[in-house]
């Protein structure tokens, strides 16, 4: 399977696309003015400790305070912790560098209360584990993780691990012995990219990350106020660190300066792939070669059509994603059950694809079309599990398929989703996705005008400022009601059209 990495650079943003057989499989977008904070290390100052939530708010020099959960605090915050000791790590690309995982901290049978771990006003060394999302500040952890090409170095933990994606028992045993021989200070995880790596390559990674850690410690001591002490590398270098392997035939860069930076980086850390780096000089935009922009546009739509004529609908909330599967125009050839199973199986592939491209995270509910046969339900569930195996983010299906065809799953997300990165809530409906009908707003106005009876007089006039469509509706459809109210008021009601008013906006004055 041929894979390529495309790096599209513009002054305002950099986009990295991972393509398999000319199909977009992963997309990273980073704007110059709002780069990701994940992986960056800060000196923080504890602002508030909340025993009732077993969490704390920490000032790390950003606009909003960061959130620190008790499970992300080392019991011995001044030295390495031996919280997690195993040799079977569930390491992930890009996010793998961070041990933060909602489930891992639960390995502690007895957890020390947060008020006994940190105090208000205390300075702490922290790493951003999740970017600020919506109204939430960044989520941080005191378990520092420094990713290299072959390993993840964790100076604050005693943890030796090997990625579960390395499946060969002989290779796992070889790597385990190699790690034990190295005897690193702190913790170490062999990443998926470390499969087949020799002792020299891993030692080189470890030496580099060890020097980086000493630099972090020095910067922490020098800094007197909350703020950044180590920044994660640029998106194009992170992508190469995490995605560049033997399956990638080409890395194409369309900017001369970034090409030089990428070429130098690969030459230093992954020299065997240096020949794969290419500078793109053609006038046609790089992403147009594979219709990447068309795929991005498609992934921003709520409705995604399937080749058969069926479709899926994807709705995203802050921590919940709902996917609905429909037969649409697909009528099948044999019978209803055959049509349904074919639609569901086709939807499985598209759902797995869209979750990766959109970087959906949190709880995901998939509403498949109801199937009568248990064998068909099992087939769809197995197909979903198979498609999710290629997902580089951690996913988990919670139980089986319900009687109503619902599947509940989780997907880890650290960076914001594609929709939240490229879109913003509609300024007109304020993100609700709907507005009140003209008739509904008209009825509200009529009722509010009627309430003015007690305040009015025969010499007064009631003036309604509203949207033109609402005024037209009232004159056309509610003229009898308006006449009835004017008689009760004892004075006329005048409508003043405000072109800049929202359809739901209105004001009533009696003068």
CATH number at residue 276: 3.30.420.60
Between CA 60 and CA 138 the distance in angstroms is 9
Same domain (yes/no): 262, 227: no
Predicted pLDDT of residue 500:
93
Same domain (yes/no): 397, 449: no
Same domain (yes/no): 72, 172: yes
Cβ burial of 423 (10 Å; 0-12, 13-18, 19+) is exposed
Predicted pLDDT of residue 390:
82
Is residue 509 within 8 Å of residue 463, measured between CB atoms? yes
Between CA 321 and CA 314 the distance in angstroms is 7
Q: Domain tally for the chain?
A: 4
Residue 408, domain member (yes or no): yes
Structural domain ending residue among the three candidates 393, 422, 451: 422
Between CA 119 and CA 176 the distance in angstroms is 39
Between CA 256 and CA 270 the distance in angstroms is 20
Say which residues have a Cβ less than 8 Å from residue 238's Cβ, sequence separation at least 6: 28, 39, 94, 232
Is residue 166 within 8 Å of residue 96, measured between CB atoms? no
With the CA atoms of 366, 370, 374 and 375 taken in that order, what torsion angle do they form, in degrees rounded to the nearest 10?
A: -80
Strand positions, DSSP E, 333-491 = 362-367, 395-397, 406-411, 462-466
Is residue 166 within 8 Å of residue 191, measured between CB atoms? no
Is residue 92 within 8 Å of residue 412, measured between CB atoms? yes
Same domain (yes/no): 484, 350: no
Same domain (yes/no): 407, 317: yes
For residue 245, which of 129, 392, 436, 130 has the smallest C-alpha distance? Answer: 392
For residue 4, which of 257, 350, 272, 289 has the smallest C-alpha distance? Answer: 289
Residue 430, domain member (yes or no): no
Q: Which two tokens stand for residue 120?
A: 């208000």
Helix (H, G, I), strand (E, B) or coil at 460: coil
Q: Where are the alpha helices (DSSP H) in 130-227?
A: 169-182, 199-222
Predicted pLDDT of residue 103:
34
How far CA 303 is from CA of 25, 325, 331, 421, in Å, comes to 19, 10, 19, 19
Residue 431, domain member (yes or no): no
Predicted pLDDT of residue 272:
87
For residue 323, which of 241, 202, 411 has the smallest C-alpha distance? Answer: 411
Domain that holds residue 84: 41-233
Residue 454, domain member (yes or no): yes
Helix (H, G, I), strand (E, B) or coil at 142: coil
For residue 211, which of 185, 237, 183 has the smallest C-alpha distance? Answer: 185
With the CA atoms of 246, 248, 249 and 254 taken in that order, what torsion angle do they form, in degrees rounded to the nearest 10?
A: -140
Q: Which two tokens stand for residue 502?
A: 């929202």
Same domain (yes/no): 116, 166: yes
Structural domain ending residue among the three candidates 293, 310, 333: 293
Mean pLDDT of successive 10-residue stretches along the chain, which has 511 residues: 90 92 89 87 95 94 92 72 42 40 40 89 93 83 90 86 84 87 83 84 88 93 94 90 88 95 90 92 91 92 92 90 90 79 94 93 94 92 92 86 92 82 86 90 92 71 94 93 88 93 93 81
Helix (H, G, I), strand (E, B) or coil at 1: coil
Is residue 27 within 8 Å of residue 418, measured between CB atoms? yes
Predicted pLDDT of residue 380:
95
Predicted pLDDT of residue 92:
45
Same domain (yes/no): 332, 377: yes
Is residue 308 within 8 Å of residue 343, measured between CB atoms? yes
Same domain (yes/no): 377, 469: no
Same domain (yes/no): 385, 491: no
Same domain (yes/no): 248, 271: yes
Say which residues have a Cβ less than 8 Å from residue 358's Cβ, sequence separation at least 6: 299, 314, 316, 417, 418, 419
For residue 341, which of 405, 263, 269, 422 has the smallest C-alpha distance? Answer: 405
Residue 161, domain member (yes or no): yes
503: CATH: 3.40.1260.20
Sign, CA dihedral 330-336-341-344, equals positive
Predicted pLDDT of residue 456:
58
Structural domain ending residue among the three candidates 276, 293, 310: 293
Same domain (yes/no): 398, 496: no
What is the number of other CB atoms lying within 10 angstroms of the CB of residue 30? 18
Is residue 344 within 8 Å of residue 369, measured between CB atoms? yes
CB-side exposure of 440: number of CA atoms within 13 Å? 7
Say which residues have a Cβ less than 8 Å from residue 207's Cβ, sequence separation at least 6: none
Beta-strand relationship, 320-326 and 23-31: unpaired
Residue 433, domain member (yes or no): no
* CA-derived radius of gyration, the chain: 29
Residue 125, domain member (yes or no): yes
Residue 258, domain member (yes or no): yes
DSSP 432-449: SS----HHHHHHHHHHHH
Between CA 90 and CA 165 the distance in angstroms is 8
Q: How many residues does the chain have?
A: 511
Per the listing, tokens 């041929």 go with 2
Same domain (yes/no): 224, 258: no
155: CATH: 2.40.50.140
Helix (H, G, I), strand (E, B) or coil at 96: helix
pTM over 0.85: no
Per the listing, tokens 């035939």 go with 249
493 bridge partner residues: 462
């Amino acid at each position: 399977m041929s894979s390529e990495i495309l790096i599209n650079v513009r002054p305002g943003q950099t986009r990295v696309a991972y393509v398999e057989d000319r199909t977009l499989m992963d997309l990273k977008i980073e704007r110059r003015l709002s780069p990701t904070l994940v992986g960056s290390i800060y000196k923080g100052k504890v602002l508030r400790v909340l025993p009732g939530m077993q969490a704390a708010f920490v000032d790390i020099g950003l606009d909003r305070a960061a959130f620190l959960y008790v499970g992300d605090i080392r019991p011995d915050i001044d030295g390495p912790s031996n919280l997690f000791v195993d040799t079977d790590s569930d390491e992930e690309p890009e996010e793998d560098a961070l041990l933060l995982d909602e489930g891992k901290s639960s390995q502690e049978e007895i957890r020390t209360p947060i008020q006994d771990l940190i105090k208000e006003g205390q300075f702490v060394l922290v790493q951003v584990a999740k970017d600020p999302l919506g109204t939430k500040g960044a989520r941080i952890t005191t378990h520092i993780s420094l990713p290299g090409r072959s390993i993840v170095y964790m100076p604050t933990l005693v943890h030796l691990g090997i990625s579960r994606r390395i499946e060969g028992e002989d290779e796992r045993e070889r790597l385990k012995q190699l790690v034990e021989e190295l005897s690193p200070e702190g913790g170490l995880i062999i990443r998926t990219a470390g499969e087949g790596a020799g002792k020299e390559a891993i030692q080189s990674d470890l030496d580099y990350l060890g020097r980086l850690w000493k630099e972090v410690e020095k910067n922490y001591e020098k800094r007197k106020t909350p703020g950044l002490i180590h920044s994660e590398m640029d998106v194009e270098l992170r992508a190469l660190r995490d995605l560049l392997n033997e399956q990638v035939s080409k890395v194409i860069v369309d900017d001369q300066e970034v090409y030089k930076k990428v070429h130098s980086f690969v030459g230093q850390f992954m020299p065997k792939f240096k020949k794969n780096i290419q500078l793109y000089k053609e006038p046609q935009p790089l992403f147009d070669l594979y219709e990447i922009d068309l795929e991005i546009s498609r992934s921003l739509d709520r409705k995604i059509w399937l080749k058969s004529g069926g479709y899926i609908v994807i709705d995203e909330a802050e921590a919940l994603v709902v996917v609905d599967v429909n037969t649409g125009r697909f009528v099948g050839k044999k019978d209803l059950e055959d049509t349904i199973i074919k639609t569901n199986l086709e939807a499985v592939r598209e759902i797995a694809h869209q979750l990766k491209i959109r970087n959906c995270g949190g709880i995901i509910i998939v509403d498949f079309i109801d199937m009568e046969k248990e064998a068909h339900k099992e087939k769809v569930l197995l197909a979903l599990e198979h498609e999710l195996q290629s997902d580089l983010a951690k996913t988990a299906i919670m139980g089986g398929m319900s009687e109503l065809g619902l599947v509940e799953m989780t997907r880890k997300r650290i960076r914001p989703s594609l929709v939240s990165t490229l879109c913003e809530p509609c300024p007109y409906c304020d993100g609700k996705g709907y507005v009140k009908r003209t008739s509904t707003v008209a009825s509200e106005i009529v009722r509010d005008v009627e309430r003015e009876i007690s305040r009015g007089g025969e010499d007064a006039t009631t003036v309604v400022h509203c949207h033109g469509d609402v005024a037209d509706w009232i004159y056309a459809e509610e003229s009898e009601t308006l006449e009835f109210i004017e008689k009760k008021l004892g004075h006329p009601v005048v409508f003043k059209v405000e072109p800049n008013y929202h359809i739901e906006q209105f004001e009533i004055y009696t003068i």
